[in-house]
Amino acid sequence: MKLKNYLLACILSFIGFSTFAQYGSQKKADNLFNKFSYSNAIKVYKSLIDKDYNADYATRQLADSYAFLRNPDSAVVYYKKAVEQENIPIEYYYNYAQALRGVKNYKEYRIWMRRFKKAGGKINEDNLLKDSDFVNSIFNAKLQYFLTDVNFNSKYSDFGAYEHDGKIYFSSSRDEGVSSNHIYGWNGEPFLDIYTANDRTDNLINHKSKLKGSINSIYHDGPLTITKDGKTIYFSRNDYNKNVLGKNEEGISNLKIYKATLVDDKWTNIEELPFNNNSYSTGHPALNKDETKLYFASDMPGGIGGTDIYYVEINNGSYGEPKNAGNIINTNKNERFPFINSEDVLFFASDGHPGLGLLDIFGTVSDKKNNIVSVINLGVPVNSSKDDFSFFMNDDGLSGYFASNRNGGVGSDDIYAYDRIPQLKIEGTVADTLNNPIANATVELFDKNGNIIAYLDTDDEGYYEINIDRDSNYNLNAKKEGYTDNTKFVSSKGIERSIKSITADFVLNYKKVVIPITELYPIYFDFNKYDIRKESTTELDRIVNLMMNTYPDMVIKIESYTDSRGTAEYNKKLSIERADATYKYLINKGVDPDRITEYNGYGEQNLVNGCDGTFNCTEAQHQLNRRTQFIVIKME
């Protein structure tokens, strides 16, 4: 009996010790998780699942850990198990959907997003319904970006490539030397430092390639942006200055933005920017074209989502208050890594706008007043089902870099170089013979076989633009009711890839309206005079009535002539005076001057008979040539 009790006590003691040990393991895993040391937490959660200790909880934590590590391939496995649990919080439906999106399972993604909504979650139904069409359009769109190899990627995280004066700057956690003692618990890699490479083929990157000066610290440094003169650098860093690591109330060291200056080829004089704050992060700095604004990402209070894009005004070295870039750019999720190219177009990474996976890269579209009106997904191959971020474009607009953790890379995050062939377009204006723009004229684009490809109407200024393919031939036709069509041949063959547009302007002539000869009669003049004769006023008054009442849109021109007697120079002057007298009579009677496109004299040209001085003519025959004619240009 005593032996039995002793054995039972030992068994209970062992179970209690084992349970206590597993409880300690869960507490350790949770501490690692709460300190963002996800890679280390994963190992412990997996051991808890293997021992079947609080496995449902460990499964959920494990799925979240993989999601935070931006590893949807593993996250989707554990989220699938999590959503099968009873009384699972509905946010796991959403998290599972996002992981499905990250592995390109868009059908299941939509199913679980609808289930999330049915359970009480809030989603943008319009975006969800359009998602299928969006994904198809992205994959079927004409490629503009073509990827090329970057030789300086490592097995660790490399991102934030930025080219300036022929040198490439980038952030990397490749340091396995002294700094390997400082490991970032989130992903188990060394902290980031800023490195430089000579070009994309440079593969000799080591500790000697680190940025010279005092920017690199024992914590995270980068990404960065550099002023045009190359003398000032803005960069992200953990809240670490003068060998002191700052932390918020929860013990977390947030990101801050610093600047440094170049002195004797070394970066020094590090200053913290005044809009930083210990309680939230500011990072990923980017300068606009004229360096009057500094853009950055932040999770400061009052934002639209998790992290938003902000900017501050720069004025003679001082910085204004942070301003949110607005809800066209920012969503209720995360926007990060802003970049502004040489044309002041903002690019950024987001997991809130419709995309192909996790973070996608987007560009902004602005109106003629430079107001941002929409954003566009850059599509494949820039974006993938994984994280795509830290976009950079050189001043030529034809090359640059971005980073991604997509499959097939060398490390956790890799830098990808791209060469870009920009979209080519035909643009121009449609105007009349007086160079007045014609609004709502239709411009049609035909291929070489005469098939219509596209058509559009001109705007209020007569402007149009149509995207076309390179290395192709086209015909353009411009038309508008009341005008004669105008057709042009346009070729994009042999166009350099740096050229973005071909100009094709059109001039449309008014259609000549056929009016019976009895409709408008000529008026006649006395010999060597330009006065309006009394009998001519009857016809002129009739023309006034036609223009002001019968045909209120009729447009005419006036042509005046003389007979052949006198010198050609004198006859030209006399005919102009007759045209001027006729014009003034109609205007004085109330005809709008804009409806008389031209009034001019042509001397003894266009004789109606053969009275050119080579034989004798009667006065009545000469009279027929001393006339003003009225030509109808437009009726309606």
Q: Would you list the DSSP string of 432-488?
A: ETT--B-TT-EEEEE-TTS-EEEEEE--TTSEEEEEE-SS-EEEEEEE-TTB--EEE
Residue 277 has pLDDT above 90, yes or no: yes
Which of the residue ranges 272-281, 313-322, 383-392, 464-473 would you say has the lowest mean pLDDT? Answer: 464-473
Crossing angle of helices 38-50/55-68, nearest 10°?
150
Confidence of residue 8 (pLDDT cuts 50, 70, 90): very low
Residue 343 has pLDDT above 70, yes or no: yes
Strand arrangement of the beta sheet that strand 372-377 belongs to: 335-340, 346-350, 360-366, 372-377
Alpha-carbon distance of 39 to 560, in angstroms, equals 93
Confidence of residue 380 (pLDDT cuts 50, 70, 90): confident
Question: Which tens digit of pLDDT belongs to each residue from 497-508?
Answer: 888 899 999 999
Alpha-carbon distance of 394 to 512, in angstroms, equals 53
Q: Percent of the chain beyond pLDDT 70?
A: 89
Averaged pLDDT for residues 342-348:
91
pTM exceeding the 0.75 threshold for the entire prediction: no
In this prediction, residue 14 carries a pLDDT of: 35
306 vs 17, 67, 259, CA distance in Å?
Answer: 42, 15, 25
In this prediction, residue 310 carries a pLDDT of: 98
Alpha-carbon distance of 291 to 121, in angstroms, equals 42
Q: Can you read off the two tokens belonging to residue 366?
A: 């602005």
Residue 202 has pLDDT above 80, yes or no: yes
Averaged pLDDT for residues 240-251:
80
Residue 188 has pLDDT above 90, yes or no: no
In this prediction, residue 437 carries a pLDDT of: 94
Residue 613 has pLDDT above 80, yes or no: yes
Q: What are phi and psi of 497, to 5 degrees?
A: -70, -15
Confidence of residue 186 (pLDDT cuts 50, 70, 90): low
Residue 187 has pLDDT above 70, yes or no: no
- Tokens 């980073």 belong to 403
Residue 179 has pLDDT above 70, yes or no: no
Alpha-carbon distance of 429 to 195, in angstroms, equals 49
**Residue 56 vs residue 304, higher pLDDT:** 304
Alpha-carbon distance of 432 to 409, in angstroms, equals 58
Q: Under a CB-based contact definition with an 8 Å cutoff, are residues 197 and 166 in contact?
A: no
Averaged pLDDT for residues 67-81:
86
In this prediction, residue 123 carries a pLDDT of: 66
Residue 359 has pLDDT above 50, yes or no: yes
Q: Can you read off the two tokens belonging to residue 542?
A: 């009739």
Residue 518 has pLDDT above 60, yes or no: no
Confidence of residue 88 (pLDDT cuts 50, 70, 90): confident
In this prediction, residue 126 carries a pLDDT of: 55
The torsion region of residue 209 among left (phi > 0), alpha (psi -120 to 50) and beta comes to alpha
Q: What is the mean pLDDT of the chain?
A: 85
Averaged pLDDT for residues 63-68:
82
In this prediction, residue 369 carries a pLDDT of: 79
Question: Which tens digit of pLDDT belongs to each residue from 452-477?
Answer: 888 889 999 999 988 888 888 999 99
Confidence of residue 530 (pLDDT cuts 50, 70, 90): very high
DSSP collapsed to 3 states, 271-307: EECCCCECCECEEEEEECCCCCEEEEEECCCCCCCCE
Confidence of residue 139 (pLDDT cuts 50, 70, 90): low
**Residue 29 vs residue 536, higher pLDDT:** 536
Averaged pLDDT for residues 95-109:
85
Question: Where is 117: in which H helix or E strand?
Answer: helix 106-118
Of the ranges 217-221, 303-307, 446-450, which is most confident? 303-307
Residue 624 burial class via C-beta count within 10 angstroms: exposed 0-12, middle 13-18, buried 19 and up: middle
Pairing of strands 232-238, 255-263: antiparallel
Q: Under a CB-based contact definition with an 8 Å cutoff, are residues 170 and 222 in contact?
A: yes
∠ Cα 293 296 297 (to 5°): 155
Question: Where is 245: in which H helix or E strand?
Answer: strand 244-245
List the helix and strand counts (H, then E) for the chain: 10, 36
Q: Under a CB-based contact definition with an 8 Å cutoff, are residues 450 and 444 in contact?
A: no
Confidence of residue 32 (pLDDT cuts 50, 70, 90): confident
Of the ranges 170-179, 328-337, 350-359, which is most confident? 328-337
In this prediction, residue 127 carries a pLDDT of: 56
Residue 2 has pLDDT above 70, yes or no: no
Tell me the Cα Rg of the chain.
38
Which amino acid, residue 420? R
Confidence of residue 190 (pLDDT cuts 50, 70, 90): confident
Residue 484 burial class via C-beta count within 10 angstroms: exposed 0-12, middle 13-18, buried 19 and up: exposed
Confidence of residue 612 (pLDDT cuts 50, 70, 90): confident
**Residue 423 vs residue 287, higher pLDDT:** 287
Residue 291 burial class via C-beta count within 10 angstroms: exposed 0-12, middle 13-18, buried 19 and up: middle
45 vs 29, 62, 581, CA distance in Å?
Answer: 6, 6, 100
**Residue 522 vs residue 397, higher pLDDT:** 522
